[in-house]
Homo-oligomer: A and B are copies of this chain.
């Protein structure tokens, strides 16, 4: 079999050039005499890799110098604990805009450590929209406001941010990081699991305003303390060395592509191709209110469970795979991350047209 178009929500498609380079360098990296997997994380050759990854990422995201970039482990899920542990003050209270399963998990873990105040929610319509942010005010004593910028499962994304004054916004960007340009200054913390737009599962990137790190108490477990990781520049203990190396290759690929601005343009093009087709289709219907449609996760359905299942099955036969919706949402989903070429989206639409003709 040859390579398929992989619409997985994550772990997800990676650039073919990255995979080829990784394969070429697997047995021996440059002149090191060994694989990147075999390198001491304290060796010069490896430290060059992790520091370059950090620098490339900082450049790609245009991260100001008063922010710290950390390569951590445990996925976005561990951040649901680390962030309140480190950033809650004596108030022990944070606000959240509830937009689906990922904020549900943040609420559940946060409530074990303090008070979580849901200031807005789209649960009433099964998370197919993002609550309006215009007149949204955080609680006066909130330590921060938590949002999930792009909801992988529902296919929604924020298009505006609430004015929170001095209260920092903490954003889970696992499924949208590097997909469009963000003004980092609007955020106190941005965090993301790598397995969508960054690299292999097993590394989590945290961008944190340095000032916020000072909030942490003195008695945190070392591995859960942002300050410990920051002091050692992500080398407090052995980091996920190989995953960070692949992330570095992805960052190089993205820079060569023209950076995040060029990628955002392509992402808007790719998603509009698909949404436009869906909007004009007599068989398929988009799940999400137009205003809040994700650039990365396009959710839709035929309205019939049986037909959706047939679609997934037939698509697979045409080398278009992982198109089933998340089990909690049902329906269909095409995740079209940075590494999904335009051609993949075009082939998907071509197949959808054919399927529609045959099944309407």
* Residues of chain A at the chain B interface (Cβ within 8 Å): 1-4, 6, 8-14, 16, 19-20, 22-24, 26-28, 31-35, 37-41, 43, 73-78, 80-81, 105, 108-109, 112-113, 193, 195, 199-203, 219-224, 236-243, 246, 319, 321-322
Q: A108-B222, A203-B202, A223-B77 are in contact. Are A19 and B27 (CB under 8 A)?
A: yes
Instruction: Evaluate contact between A221 and B80: CB separation under 8 angstroms.
Output: yes
Q: A109-B221, A202-B243 are in contact. Are A38 and B23 (CB under 8 A)?
A: no
Q: CA A194 – CA B27 in complex, angstroms?
A: 19
Residue of B nearest to A237 (CB): B77
Given contacts A14-B37, A201-B241, list 4 more A-B pairs with CB under 8 A: A11-B41, A19-B37, A77-B236, A80-B223
Instruction: Evaluate contact between A221 and B322: CB separation under 8 angstroms.
Output: no
Instruction: Evaluate contact between B11 and A33: CB separation under 8 angstroms.
Output: no
Oligomer: number of copies: 2
Least distance between A315 CB and chain B CB atoms (Å): 13
Cβ 8 A contact of A8, one of B2, B39, B219, B243: B39
Instruction: Evaluate contact between A37 and B246: CB separation under 8 angstroms.
Output: yes
Give 19 CB contacts A-B under 8 Å.
A3-B33, A9-B40, A10-B40, A11-B41, A14-B37, A19-B27, A19-B35, A23-B24, A33-B319, A33-B321, A43-B322, A76-B237, A81-B221, A105-B222, A108-B222, A112-B219, A193-B238, A200-B240, A201-B238
